[in-house]
């Protein structure tokens, strides 16, 4: 019985006792008092022995499987194959570890952090007027600690951003004699990722963090087939505004059916007009490419939008804030939703959904047959990455290497 019912029963007994009191018969008062005490004790016992309403109505909670973080070691690799530890040093000269952190089942795009006094500090490439740009960890109070590779003799070698190719910045350790060593993340099981800067914006400055202008975000990504062979500048000279004479290559975005057919992916306006959606290769690198909608001569960003829906909508955003749906088109011109369906760490998995609810892979195809995954990319831990024309963006749509 609830405490509310018990209180009503208690008030009813009080009223009866008051009526009996007026009868001026002592034995009736005694009987009334005894009956009240017995009734109260019975009700109190029933409340204690009965089932708890809160406990019986509480739903069972689903067990959540936690992924145990895997720490990848960040190393500079010498030409003879020997590895050098990469560290940051605080103002007192104390060294701290640099790790790539795998916090989900995917290892294609990992955060790189400095572990300083138990805190995980972001690692960024700073804006610089010079060709060689500093790579630093940034503390909560705005101090910057530079990354350095350490030789067996204790020599400290600067780790720098060497050169930009489109959306990526090649990182190397550079000796005093100007030799470059590759920077890699190595898992406990021996897997290897490239450590490099990635850019979301075309502009020089990505953002400001703790008073510092950020040029690129440092991540560990699956090795690219050609990036180790890129021609690198030898001198740390003053650089101008970034430009590339690379002849642009358009990659086609397709949804792949269960029987192997490729479906066009298009942007669609409110009137039903369709527009091309392409991955744009703007430099020699093709491991991390923008995806754009081409609407009446304008290139529009394509983003995964913040939403409370089961699957996150993917939209192109016009210069005036107009939203364009992103759909895969069947041979019968049926429009299939293209959505962000799940998250693994920094990656949002993207699928087209057919009439039967089947999830179809979405890929970027180069004219020569190369293949990239189409994924949502998260740079930050927060829910909303940024706003574009007032629209909250959950993740950036990119074509990345497999």
What's the pLDDT band for 66 if we cut at 50, 70, 90? confident
Whether residue 240 lies inside any domain: the answer is no
Q: Is the pLDDT of residue 9 over 50?
A: no
Domain total of the chain:
3
* 43 vs 92, higher pLDDT: 92
Cβ distance 168 to 198 under 8 Å? yes
Q: At what angle do helices 26-49 and 3-21 cross, to 10 degrees?
A: 180
Q: Is the pLDDT of residue 149 over 60?
A: yes
Residues 23 and 127 both lie in one domain: no
Residues 170 and 264 both lie in one domain: no
Pairing of strands 180-186, 168-174: antiparallel
Whether residue 65 lies inside any domain: the answer is no
Q: Is the pLDDT of residue 248 over 60?
A: yes
Average model confidence (pLDDT) across the chain: 88
Q: Is the pLDDT of residue 341 over 70?
A: yes
Distance of CA 198 to the CA centre of its chain: 14
Nearest to 76 by CA among 67, 68, 86: 86
Low-confidence winner among 48-62, 79-93, 127-141, 165-179 (lowest mean pLDDT): 48-62
pTM of the model: 0.82
Spatial neighbors of 192 by CB under 8 A, at least 6 apart, are 184, 185, 186, 223
Q: What is the predicted pLDDT for the residue at 41?
A: 44
Average pLDDT of span 278-292: 98
Residues 283 and 149 both lie in one domain: no
Whether residue 126 lies inside any domain: the answer is yes
The three-class DSSP label of residue 227 is helix
Residues 254 and 395 both lie in one domain: yes
Average pLDDT of span 139-163: 96
Whether residue 236 lies inside any domain: the answer is no
Residues 180 and 317 both lie in one domain: no
Q: Is the pLDDT of residue 131 over 70?
A: yes
Whether residue 357 lies inside any domain: the answer is yes
Q: What is the predicted pLDDT for the residue at 141?
A: 95
Q: Mind listing the pLDDT tens digit for each residue in 178-220?
A: 999 999 999 999 999 999 999 999 999 999 999 999 999 999 9
Residues 383 and 297 both lie in one domain: yes
Q: What is the predicted pLDDT for the residue at 65?
A: 57
Whether residue 63 lies inside any domain: the answer is no
Q: What is the predicted pLDDT for the residue at 229?
A: 87
Whether residue 347 lies inside any domain: the answer is yes
Spatial neighbors of 348 by CB under 8 A, at least 6 apart, are 304, 312, 340, 342, 375, 376, 377, 378, 394, 395
Q: Is the pLDDT of residue 7 over 50?
A: no
Residues 327 and 254 both lie in one domain: yes
Residues 79 and 204 both lie in one domain: yes
For residue 279, what are the CA distances in angstroms to 172, 290, 305, 381? 27, 6, 19, 25
Average pLDDT of span 67-89: 97
Q: What is the distance between the alpha carbons of residues 1 and 213, in angstroms, rounded to a whole number?
A: 65
Residues 165 and 187 both lie in one domain: yes
Range of the domain at 218: 70-229
Whether residue 244 lies inside any domain: the answer is no
Residues 304 and 255 both lie in one domain: yes
Average pLDDT of span 5-34: 40
Residues 263 and 217 both lie in one domain: no
* 15 vs 220, higher pLDDT: 220
Among the candidates 200, 229, 258, a domain finishes at 229
Q: Is the pLDDT of residue 1 over 90?
A: no
Share of the chain above pLDDT 70, in %: 84
Cβ distance 70 to 187 under 8 Å? yes
Among the candidates 11, 30, 57, a domain finishes at 57
Residues 253 and 358 both lie in one domain: yes
* 48 vs 93, higher pLDDT: 93
Q: Which two tokens stand for residue 65?
A: 């499987």
Q: Is the pLDDT of residue 53 over 60?
A: no
Q: Is the pLDDT of residue 55 over 90?
A: no
Q: Is the pLDDT of residue 25 over 60?
A: no
Among the candidates 229, 263, 291, a domain finishes at 229
């Amino acid at each position: 019985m609830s405490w509310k019912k018990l209180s009503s029963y208690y008030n009813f007994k009080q009223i009866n006792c008051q009526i009996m009191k007026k009868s001026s018969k002592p034995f009736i008062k005694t009987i009334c008092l005894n009956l009240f005490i017995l009734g109260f004790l019975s009700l109190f016992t029933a409340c204690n022995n009965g089932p708890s309403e809160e406990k019986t109505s509480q739903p069972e909670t689903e067990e959540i499987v936690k992924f145990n973080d895997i720490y990848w070691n960040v190393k500079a690799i010498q030409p003879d194959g020997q590895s050098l530890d990469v560290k940051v040093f605080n103002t007192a000269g104390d060294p701290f570890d640099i790790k790539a952190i795998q916090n989900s089942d995917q290892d294609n795009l990992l955060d790189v952090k400095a572990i300083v006094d138990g805190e995980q500090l972001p690692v960024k490439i700073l804006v610089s007027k010079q060709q060689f740009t500093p790579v630093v960890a940034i503390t909560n109070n705005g101090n910057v600690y530079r990354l350095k590779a350490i030789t067996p003799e204790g020599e400290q070698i600067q780790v720098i951003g060497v050169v930009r190719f489109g959306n990526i910045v090649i990182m190397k350790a550079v000796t005093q004699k100007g030799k470059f060593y590759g920077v890699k993340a190595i898992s406990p099981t021996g897997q290897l990722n490239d450590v490099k800067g990635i850019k979301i914006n075309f502009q020089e400055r990505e953002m400001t963090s703790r008073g510092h202008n950020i040029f690129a975000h440092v991540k560990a990504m699956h090795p690219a087939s050609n990036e180790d062979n890129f021609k690198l500048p030898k001198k740390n000279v003053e650089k101008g505004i970034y430009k590339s004479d690379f002849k642009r290559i358009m990659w086609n975005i397709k949804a792949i059916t269960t029987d192997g057919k490729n479906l066009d992916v298009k942007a669609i306006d409110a009137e039903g007009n369709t527009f091309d959606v392409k991955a744009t290769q703007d430099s020699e690198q093709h491991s991390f490419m923008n995806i754009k909608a081409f609407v009446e001569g304008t290139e529009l960003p394509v983003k995964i939008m913040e939403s409370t829906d089961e699957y996150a909508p993917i939209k192109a955003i016009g210069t005036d804030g107009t939203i364009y749906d992103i759909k895969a088109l069947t041979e019968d011109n049926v429009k299939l939703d293209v959505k962000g369906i799940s998250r693994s760490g920094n990656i949002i998995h993207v699928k087209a959904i057919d009439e039967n609810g089947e999830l179809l892979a979405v890929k970027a195809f180069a004219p020569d047959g190369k293949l990239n995954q189409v994924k949502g990319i998260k740079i930050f831990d927060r829910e909303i990455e940024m706003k574009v024309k007032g629209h909250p963006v959950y993740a950036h749509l990119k074509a990345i290497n497999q």
